[in-house]
A and B are shown apart, each in its own frame.
Chain A
């Protein structure tokens, strides 16, 4: 069974630009969550999607948004990038609520 696939693996963007990250969950998993990981803040929850609906949102500004498609693939978008958005962005898929999450390889975003 294929794991969680995130693309791209690495990105370098300039302040003010926007970026879209993609995630394909494990086949059969309908729940996808996104996390931001930085050295100072650790792993912070961004949002959770299930059946194309956002179920939860973390404490991030509105520049961070996401969506989920009917095939459970998910995208997240960050607009007007700031230097502080440089981080590892992780997507996780879940077989059900309150169960384990399986992470993709992550997208390393660097904002310069």
Chain B
């Protein structure tokens, strides 16, 4: 069973701090990974895509991929209360497909 695993949290950080969200995956063949943010009652919103080893930065967000360790992370700098949401990590279940396998999500709480 190909899996993506996340700590469900909640992860609580003070406003202005760095939030670190982590994800591991079991399928070494997975090449691309995505982070989605989901507010309560809403649909997932894509915030980061990462396709190669290393770091990718976009504004306050940095995604990190380590294929050797089968590990993906998302760092949120200068966390804001509006960042409070569930963060979903997803990877492609197999090649040449659009199918995504999602982790259970990590709930982030940013306290003012």
Contacts and interface: CB of A to CB of B under 8 A. Distances in A.
B80 interface: no
A77 interface: no
Contacts of B92: 98
A50 interface: yes
Contact of B102 (A43, A48, A98, A104): A43
Contacts of B103: 42
B17 interface: no
A90 B98 contact: no
B49 A42 contact: no
Contact of A97 (B44, B90, B96, B101): B96
Chain B interface secondary structure, helix, strand, loop or mixed? loop
B22 interface: no
B69 interface: no
Chain A interface secondary structure, helix, strand, loop or mixed? strand
B100 A99 contact: no
B74 to A, nearest CB: 14
A68 interface: no
- Which residue, of B36, B43, B96, B105, has the highest number of chain A Cβ atoms within 10 A? B43
Contact of B100 (A45, A50, A55, A106): A45
Contact of A45 (B31, B44, B99, B105): B99
Given A42-B104, A42-B105, A43-B88, A101 B98 contact: yes
Interface in A53-71: 55-56, 58
Interface of B: 31-32, 34, 36, 42-46, 49, 88, 90, 92-93, 95-105
